[in-house]
Amino acid sequence: MPVEDRADELLAIINMIGYAIGVASDIGVQDGVSDLQTARMKLVLELRQISFGDLSLDELSRLARAPAGHC
């Protein structure tokens, strides 16, 4: 898979996990929130390694939260 496609996929998954974190928080599943945040951070780190290496983790996290596509 080309790097650009992989980066797009990671951005979409990170975005979806952000949505899932909100839902888990709303329904009071704090263990789930913690697990999802951990998974999200691992994906952000992976995204940084394959692309966007010049962005900080905070900048990448904000980029991944931006609404895009059908998420």
Q: What does the pLDDT read at residue 68? A: 56
The pLDDT tens digits for 28-52 are: 999 999 999 999 999 988 988 888 7
Q: Write down the pTM of the prediction.
A: 0.77
User: 40, 48 in Cβ contact below 8 A?
Assistant: no
